[in-house]
Amino acid sequence: MGRVMGLVLALALVVLLAPAGRVLAANHHAGGHSAHRVAQPPAMPLTGIKVFGDRPAPFPLDARAAMLIDAQSGDVLYAYNEHQRMQPASLAKMMTFYLTLEALRQKRIALDTPIPISEAAWRLSLNDSVSRMFLQVGQRVAVKDLLYGLMVSSGNDAAVALSEYLAGGTDAFTEQMNKKAQQLGLTETHFTNPDGLPADGEYTTANDMVKLGHALVHDFPEALDYTSTKEFTFDKIEQRNFNTLLFYDARVNGIKTGHVQEAGFHLVASAASGDLKLISAVMGTPSMEKRRVETDKLLDWAFRTFTTISPDWHKAAPPQLRVYKGEVEEVAIAPADGTPYFTVGHGDETKVVLTATLPNRWLVAPVAKGTQVGTLSVTVAGKPISSVALVTQSEVKEGGLVHRLMDSIRLKL
């Protein structure tokens, strides 16, 4: 009996003396094992919610911040507190995922490249307070398995293993994460590690997480093969994807969950139906269930309310412009990002009018590739909806002396 009491007292001391960081991490559960509820987020008045087309806000969300975009047009459909800083938790793994996919594309690694598992990664797999794919020290695990372990099992151990191999250590990899964040325009984000475990100086926003989610599916369409997977088995241990919305809504195909006690439960989601593709970030909900329910509510509203169109821009704008004093006499122009996409409300598809505004019908060399020469705009019932830039498709250098003199005369006529 005395021996049993001694063990009980010893366990109690371990809990009482646990470092504050690990207590916080215990509630992290990168994919959200815990059903623990966080403090209720303040109610957002409908007037504080921005909706595409100046529509009235349909509802508030039980979350601290949210943002939803049309992934093809880039239009913001719903947003509030989207620039409010908070802990990213396991959403940081999205950047680890991005950098690994980039390394694959650059052929610095292959899907079957065996990654050695260090003691640091293995120790995370022993920690039952965080998500892990149960790596063992000394194993050599294929990159493909680590990617599934990272995005389905939300494995902190997978994040460390990948970062160590790609950059030689987690600190060097974190520097790469922040450098890539700057390149992608994530101006409201700072990473401190590859897995998102809480640390000082770590923050992001709903706005930046939507940007990162969009960059993932745009730059690496194969990313959805991993994030849409519902279960992953490694070493005979099967785990379900922590993004439970995958099991409730067939339109959803990823991307990532996260949870840290001080910020709440996060979900960045990608979904598609018909012509409409969506990326959302719902951050700081009070529970696992709420992040699923509130995200589904937001996505379902968007699918019922909006659609994406791609009208033939050639009917509104000329395919090229005259160039004077150049080595060629014409330069092709087109929408800046290729095929133009516009978001409109359901039922407005037939009311769309596409117009091109071109301040000048000619240019003077030299002309740089990507020079904006006009704007392609969409109106519905006379109301401007959105626009894209028209840009030159190639560079035009100056022509010879005689040609420049002749064009100078033509311009004066």
Residue 8: the pLDDT is: 38
Residue 399: the pLDDT is: 84
For the chain, which domains are there?
A: 20-306 (3.40.710.10), 313-412 (2.60.410.10)
Residue 125: the pLDDT is: 77
Task: Return the minimum-mean-pLDDT range out of 26-35, 39-48, 216-225, 357-366.
Answer: 26-35
Reduced to 3 states (helix: H, G, I; strand: E, B; else coil), residue 230 is coil
262 against 282, higher pLDDT: 282
What is the model's pTM?
A: 0.86
Q: Six-digit token pair at 39?
A: 């403090």
Q: Which of 401, 326, 310, 341 is nearest to 371 (CA)?
A: 326
The arithmetic mean of pLDDT across residues 284-295, rounded, is: 96
Percent of the chain residues topping a pLDDT of 90: 75
What is the rounded CA–CA span in Å between residue 300 and residue 253? 14
269 pLDDT higher than 80:
yes
Residue 205: the pLDDT is: 98
The string of pLDDT tens digits covering residues 295-341 is 999 999 999 999 999 999 999 999 999 999 999 999 999 999 888 99
The string of pLDDT tens digits covering residues 86-122 is 999 999 999 999 999 999 999 999 999 999 999 998 8
13 against 71, higher pLDDT: 71
Residue 16: the pLDDT is: 39
- What average pLDDT is seen over the chain? 88
221 against 2, higher pLDDT: 221
Token pair 């109106």 in the structure block, residue: 379
159 against 132, higher pLDDT: 159
Tell me, rounded to whole angstroms, the distance of Cα 119 from its chain centroid.
31
Q: Which residues, including other chains, have CB under 8 Å from residue 293's CB and lie 6 or more apart? A: none
Which positions are annotated as active-site residues? 90, 93, 154
Tell me, rounded to whole angstroms, the distance of Cα 89 from its chain centroid.
14
Residue 366: the pLDDT is: 95
The arithmetic mean of pLDDT across residues 39-61, rounded, is: 85
The string of pLDDT tens digits covering residues 227-259 is 999 999 999 999 999 999 999 999 999 999 999
* CA angle 32–37–43, rounded 5-degree value: 115
19 pLDDT higher than 50:
no
CA Rg, the chain, in Å?
A: 26
17 pLDDT higher than 50:
no
The string of pLDDT tens digits covering residues 381-398 is 888 888 999 999 999 999
Is-contact 261 27, C-beta < 8 A?
A: yes
C-alpha to C-alpha distances, 62 to 118, 160, 211, nearest whole angstrom: 40, 33, 22
Residue 42: the pLDDT is: 60
Cis peptide leading into 255, omega within 30 of 0? yes
Longest Cα–Cα distance in the chain: 108
